[in-house]
Chain A
């Protein structure tokens, strides 16, 4: 969930809404005149507020702007889990950020490699270079799509169907999967239209995304609800894993369940369902909530 970096009222209790990660923004939501004050604010908030285990991400300004380097100098020392690079277009930008973070980690006595990176692709060039970007640094944990800038760059606008984003979404997803990174979808800006938001979350989940950026606390529950496996899915996943374990014990080469053959992709999908169930607190003996 995005949290504007220069709003003390939002910084202090952003974690109470249940988002999996908080993304403190020093970039587009902060005016040019307040770039410095937002940097101090996020720096001190990260050092002193207990976000109770919620993952922390900071979207810094690009190193091509006059603010980027100062953002890195401050934010690396405040040790968020991840730094998000905006408007990434080339693998070189990721490598440059990686080197700079390493340099600051060294100066500040932070173990090398502590701070992870997420690259946001928000332009046609970024999308074309997705796989090169995804493999540019061992710090990278995720690729994200930034749709608003992207649609402007390809000379269109966002529609409710999202056809204009299909290629970019697919490219981000495939590049992320090929590089073994998480894939995160863009925000949905119409906060009033919860039904359309839910449809979009269903759609990007089906495409294969691991999650979605949200702008408002009221969007968090919808994403969680759609990503939480149902009891039936969890039960079926448990049966598949049990069948696999039994087959392994017997030394059977072929696994079958309900007279259907269970192969590796089915087992992997079952493992993913159980991992999601674990993450959402559903994986309990009583079937969760």
Chain B
């Protein structure tokens, strides 16, 4: 999947995470993370963000994320939604998620 523009999803409410995804010219996933629980869960949050992006075939991207204590499934949902908004992809997305 190709990122066509910046995509954003989520909020700064408690239990949520705001995720902004920008296309990058070079290979790699750069994650700039702020979190209320960064000491305890920073590595875990980065891992979920990276894994979700790789599942979607996104490997050239800058991610800015501000976490307010989101569950793993919320992080995943917000990354997927931001990617969906950045790619304009719809139906095919669910099949990618499924596989």
Contacts and interface: CB of A to CB of B under 8 A. Distances in A.
A8 B81 contact: no
Contact of B16 (A9, A47, A77): A9
**Majority secondary structure of chain B interface residues (helix, strand, loop or mixed):** helix
A44 interface: yes
Interface in B44-99: 70-74, 76-78, 80-81, 84-85, 90-91, 94-95, 97-98
B91 A44 contact: no
Given A73-B94, A77-B94, A44 B76 contact: yes
B72 A48 contact: yes
Nearest to B91: A73
Q: How large is the interface on B (under 10, 10 to 19, 20 to 34, 35 or more residues)?
A: 20 to 34
Given A9-B16, A36-B84, A48 B94 contact: no
Interface in A209-245: none
A44 B77 contact: yes
B71 A37 contact: no
B23 interface: no
19 contacts: A8-B71, A8-B74, A9-B13, A9-B14, A9-B15, A12-B15, A36-B81, A37-B9, A37-B10, A37-B78, A41-B77, A45-B74, A45-B77, A49-B73, A69-B91, A70-B90, A73-B91, A74-B94, A77-B98
Interface of A: 7-9, 11-12, 36-37, 40-41, 43-45, 47-49, 69-70, 73-74, 77, 107-108
